[in-house]
Amino acid sequence: MEDGSAPDFLSCRSWGFGTSCGLWGVDCRPFESDWNAFRCPTRCTLDQSSSLAVYGSSPYRADSRICRAAVHAGVVGPNGGCAFYRFAGAANAFYSSTANGVTTTEFLSWFPKTIEFKEASSAFCSDLSWWILGVGFTAMAGFGLLPRIRPVILFYSLVAWGFFYVRLVGQPSSQNYAGISIDSYGEVMVLLAASSVAYRMAASKTFRGWKALSLKRRVVMWVFCYIVPFHVMINMNLIGYVPWLNVDLGGFEEVNANAGTYVVFTIVGIGAVFLAFTLFQSLYRAGRWKKCMVMYVVMVTSVLVSWALFPSTSFHLHHTMLGAFIIPITAFQTPSAAFSQSTALGCFVQGYARWGWYSYLDTIRTVPKNPPNTTNVTSSQAIVLWEQLESVEAYSLRLNRVEVYRGLDTSAVISNLEPNMTYFVGVAGVASWGTDGRVGPLSNFTTLEM
């Protein structure tokens, strides 16, 4: 940077204040700071998720996504870059505006921590994510066209490349790249070991006689039916960046759906039905459908039995598992089987690289059904009451998303409020291990004038 400092590398979803900041944000101090250098990646303006809201227009609420706010402020471009930020204490109003392709959200109330930006210059702040993806795609596509290449080397190279791309470039879990890299060298071995089962069950049969295939057949099978869908799936997070599609890794959202959403889902559905039909047709002709049926019946029965043992949980089929579920029935030397197999493999690799191994049974969080009630409101104080929840150990009361009470009672007194100001309150349950649940419906109240 121009001042000689090394910038902190942030992700598109980095923020300066969150729900884990403790009572009155004590764990996210300081609320005011000097200028700090930071660097943002590319793609941050593509992500239109509602969870990436930016509040205000200089200053910004500190729980805004820093990189998107920096783009709005004009100090960072859509392709990433470097700038300076500082925390600037509390503010009582944040106004909406649109600039540089980012529309901010208005919030006319108090928040304890704000963030400001200023420009910086550096010759080493360009994001190379797209270049890395392009080089990796080209290398893997060309690798498969070499005359003497063995399919097993192709398969494991593709899995390893996809893992490291997702882990370090596409969707890094944090900005501690040294720590991520160290962990990745061990975790990729686990992935390769698991992938060896997929290779033996399916991929080895799909690429049987690979060296004898013509160059044209290799291009079709490897580049178009394997490399392309695999790279689409390891970048599946970009699908959620399309604002009108209403798709996120959590699933389809019915709100704000439009004609384009249904058109895309219809096309994908027709394609999935066609691929499923061709796979089942191949299974029937090969006489392996009974064996596969028994395998899947045993698998589903095991899942149902384990779910019955823990009835308080909910079933969640992660896309990692969905990919592993599909791969065994793709062991055929057809373009549709190769396409299905690479799509499932991409799901499997992306899910493991980004999220790791997760159980298909999720603990159901207890969420309040009703918003809290507020009584005895004065110019500087209010009493908040809420319903008692089952299966929780304590409660967390949030005022404007800031925790102001954590305890066993179902009521709390909030003091030191600003006069004639509207506040928003919500309650979350606290589990026995201290993890907060999801905040329930919000209510609001306005303090009296002095």
- Rounded CA separation 350/323 (Å): 10
Backbone Cα Rg of the chain: 26
Cβ 18 vs Cβ 213: under 8 Å: no
Which pair of tokens denotes residue 322?
């969905």
* Alpha helices by DSSP H, 122-258: 129-143, 151-165, 177-198, 204-206, 215-218, 228-234
CA angle 293–298–303, rounded 5-degree value: 125
Closest among 142, 14, 6 to 67, alpha carbons compared:
14
Higher pLDDT, 295 or 120: 295
- Residue 250 predicted with pLDDT over 50: no
Express each pLDDT in 172-199 by its tens digit.
876 677 888 888 998 999 999 999 999 9
- Residue 115: predicted pLDDT: 94
Q: pLDDT-based confidence at 430, cuts 50/70/90?
A: confident
- Residue 69: predicted pLDDT: 93
Which pair of tokens denotes residue 313?
């949980």
Q: What CATH number does the domain located at 8-119 have? A: 2.170.130.20
Q: pLDDT-based confidence at 365, cuts 50/70/90?
A: confident
* Region 293-315 average pLDDT: 90
Q: pLDDT-based confidence at 28, cuts 50/70/90?
A: confident
Closest among 145, 122, 69 to 100, alpha carbons compared:
69
Express each pLDDT in 314-324 by its tens digit.
888 888 999 99
Closest among 92, 90, 89 to 106, alpha carbons compared:
92
- Rounded CA separation 292/284 (Å): 10
Bond into 328 cis (ω within 30): no
Averaged pLDDT of the chain:
87
Cβ 135 vs Cβ 85: under 8 Å: no
Express each pLDDT in 126-152 by its tens digit.
778 889 999 999 999 999 888 888 999
* Alpha helices by DSSP H, 199-256: 204-206, 215-218, 228-234
The ranges assigned to domains in the chain are: 8-119, 129-362, 373-446
Q: Which contiguous run of DSSP H or E holds residue 289?
A: helix 289-309
- Rounded CA separation 303/97 (Å): 50
* Region 359-363 average pLDDT: 84
Which pair of tokens denotes residue 185?
């060298």
- Rounded CA separation 174/165 (Å): 14
Q: pLDDT-based confidence at 70, cuts 50/70/90?
A: very high
* Region 413-433 average pLDDT: 89
Which pair of tokens denotes residue 270?
């027709």
Indicate the DSSP class of residue 55: B
- Rounded CA separation 108/151 (Å): 60
- Rounded CA separation 4/283 (Å): 63
* Alpha helices by DSSP H, 74-176: 129-143, 151-165
Bond into 59 cis (ω within 30): yes
The model scores a pTM over 0.85 = no
- Residue 46 predicted with pLDDT over 80: no
- Residue 253: predicted pLDDT: 42
- Rounded CA separation 323/345 (Å): 6
Closest among 171, 250, 226 to 344, alpha carbons compared:
226
Q: Which CATH architecture has domain 373-446?
A: Sandwich (2.60)
Q: Which contiguous run of DSSP H or E holds residue 279?
A: helix 259-286
CA angle 387–393–395, rounded 5-degree value: 45
Same fold, 8-119 and 373-446: no
Evaluated on CA atoms 412, 414, 420, 423, the torsion sign reads negative
